[in-house]
Chain A
Amino acid sequence: MKHTISVLVNNRPGVLARTAGLFSRRGFNIDSLAVSTTQDPDTSRMTIVVDGPDAILEQISKQLYKLLDVIKVLDHQDEPTVVRELALIKVGAEPEHRGEIMQVVSIFRGNVVDVTQNTFIIEVTGAGDKIDALIGLLQKYGIREMMRTGRIVLSRGPRTA
């Protein structure tokens, strides 16, 4: 079972290493990880996707709380959330396919952000499955290079961490 958790931490050097290191040390697998600053300059927020049964998740959360720099851990499993990832995809775009590719991209509300004689870079945001679907459709044109951010999440509604 995949869980998406948000971890609020002190915005200090070394905190990422402490937090990420805990996962490998305790044998928990990270599927994706995204970190950024927040509205409070002293706080960073991590969104971590982790795979494992519920009991493991509880243990992860407790172990995270033991780190002095961890302020709050939230499991988003049982609540509505807004989930996003961003992908940049460099895809082969020979003149005869360009129209086709641009159509597909516009259905996914992506953008072509770089154009050369025979390549595009496509930018797309959305939940992971949407990005997976677009990548699937672009395969046949030849994906030359690709990068996806980790998942980022906020709870829906007025509630805040």
Chain B
Amino acid sequence: MKMTGAHALIESLRQEGVEVIFGYPGGAVLAIYDVLYDTKDIRHILVRHEQGAAHAADGYARASGRVGVCMATSGPGATNLVTGIATAYMDSVPIVAITGQVPTYAIGKDAFQEADITGITLPITKHNYLVTKVKDLPHVIKEAFHIARTGRPGPVVVDLPRDVQSAELDFEYPDKVELRGYRPTRTGHAKMIERAAELINSAQRPMIYGGGGVNAADAQKELVKLAEKADMPVTMTLLGKGGFPEDHDLYLGMPGMHGTAYANYALHEADVILAVATRFDDRVTGKLDMFARGAKFIHIDIDPAEIGKNVLPLVPIVGDVRIVLNALEKKVDATKHMEWRARIEQWKQQYPLSWKGDGLKPQYVIQEIHRATNGEAIIVTEVGQNQMWAAQWYPCKRTRQFISSGGLGTMGYGFPAAIGAQIAHPDQVVWDIAGDGSIQMNIQEMATAVTYQVPVKIAVLNNGYLGMVRQWQTLFFRNRLSHTDIATGTPDFVKLAQAYGAVGLRATAESEAKPAIEQAMAIHDRPCLIDFQVVREENVMPMVPAGGTVDDMLVD
């Protein structure tokens, strides 16, 4: 069928089952937007800043497990996507970003709104394409989605020059992908799985340390089965949250810098650690050569480059964790580790996660949100103290329930990602746990949420500080609070929300928190922001200082 490149793009997206595009128009994507004008089966969500589009596509992808799609024009439109693309890259999130480009004859001439976006995004994409011939467009889109969602997922950028969008082609959508340099391994090596099982069977103090790949692979069920059969306590990273039900009695909470003391002690004393789809990030390990020194490691990951990157495992297994865990579970002995479990129980009693003190505490706010939502809400976070408190005080049950920028630590991620998550799951309750600093980084997306009646609830834990930086200054820089007090100039969030046509509420004491949360839960046709004016100087505890070990852990 004869059609233009712009039509072919939309038709290709249709073939990929795309339901929603988060985007922002501009001069170099006019032909595509002209096609969207008549497109009814693919929804376009008009954001207010391209960064919001990239984060919304990311939130949509994390919440749904599908590929998120965002679109922007050339030059500044494309560069505004960059932070969102880098965020998705660091956390292995499948998104396809479509950018307009100046016409092929103008590339390299410093044309108006020209930026070399494939060059710029080289180190932050799984792959990218500059399409210079319209006939390549269908197979490029096919490949882009295939690459984004298979193997270790990640972002793919497709850059489309204006003349390619308007040129005609004979459209035919390919039904398979041929990439000779790309064949991810899915089933693990049988011999290695055998050795892993032997090691687990010989362990006295085994542990599972799981990461984001458990969510990406939807492997919760397989992980639970294995953990229960081999009686292995489990700790899940920030990105792994929800990959193991947190109300399970084998669960120890998060490891690392702001993890639970008992998870860190258990890792420190374990003799065999099964690392599942995780990458031994410095926020988990602290000082690398002191991390879990007594343990032998089994490392399962779909990305061979992760194995041995930071920690050399005794048993490496490359493969899809869901398939590997399933095979491994059949090989391990059903057993009980009474002594080990008792020791962990002791740590749990001795060093429980806790908070105390008077006034409206951020931890209390999150606990109240947990109560009001029966622990069922999708929790999206910004970055900083709000993120760590959300991770500590909102235990999750399901995979894909907790959405946060882990690797890149992008302030301003949460709100647009929450909009994406809510659009993926209109029937679920979505909360964005925010700080007064990070919410201001993408507050303009309030207009998006109001326009499309997205009922995201935003809990601003307002302490008037860039709280996590303030905490580090207090602890490590003699409390010299250099440029972290933002109380002056912070807007009245209630009025701000109202100005956008959203609902704005305020809670200044514990007694006001619960009613405000309940009121927010009753709103279904627009976003609702609650300004929780929490005590200012609360620290996130426990804390293992950067590059430290469990022995350096601060408890309060």
Contact = CB atoms under 8 A, between A and B. Distances in A.
A62 B303 CA distance: 9
A67 B126 CA distance: 8
Contact of A18 (B122, B303, B307): B122
B181 A67 contact: yes
A14 B179 CA distance: 17
A9 B123 CA distance: 18
Interface of A: 9-10, 14, 17-18, 21, 25, 55, 58-59, 62-63, 65-71
B278 interface: no
B305 A21 contact: no
A58 B308 contact: yes
Nearest to A60: B305
Closest 10 CB pairs of A and B: A62-B305, A68-B127, A71-B181, A62-B304, A25-B123, A68-B182, A70-B181, A63-B305, A68-B181, A66-B305
B305 A59 contact: yes
B123 A66 contact: no
Contacts of A68: 126-127, 147, 179, 181-182
B118 A14 contact: yes
B356 interface: no
A65 B304 contact: yes
Interface of B: 118-119, 122-123, 126-127, 130, 147, 179-182, 303-305, 307-309, 312
Contacts of B118: 14
Contacts of B305: 59, 62-63, 65-66
A59 B118 CA distance: 25
B308 A59 contact: yes
A7 B296 CA distance: 34
A67 B123 CA distance: 10
A23 B204 CA distance: 42
A-side interface mostly:
helix
A40 to B, nearest CB: 11
A59 B305 CA distance: 6
A68 B307 CA distance: 19
A65 B305 CA distance: 9
Contact of B308 (A10, A55, A65, A70): A55
Nearest to B156: A68
A17 B119 contact: yes
Contact of B122 (A9, A17, A58, A62): A17
Contacts of A55: 308, 312
Of the listed residues B119, B123, B304, B305, the one surrounded by the most CB atoms of chain A closer than 10 A to its CB is B305
B314 to A, nearest CB: 15
Contacts of B126: 68
Contacts of A66: 303, 305
Contacts of B304: 62, 65
Contacts of B308: 55, 58-59
Given A59-B308, A67-B127, A68-B127, 17 more contacts: A9-B181, A17-B119, A18-B122, A21-B122, A21-B123, A25-B123, A59-B305, A62-B304, A62-B305, A62-B307, A65-B181, A66-B303, A68-B182, A69-B181, A70-B181, A71-B180, A71-B181
A45 B304 CA distance: 23
Nearest to A55: B308
Contacts of A71: 180-181
Contacts of A70: 181
Nearest to B154: A66
A67 B125 CA distance: 10
9 contacts: A10-B181, A14-B130, A25-B123, A59-B305, A59-B309, A62-B307, A63-B305, A65-B305, A68-B126
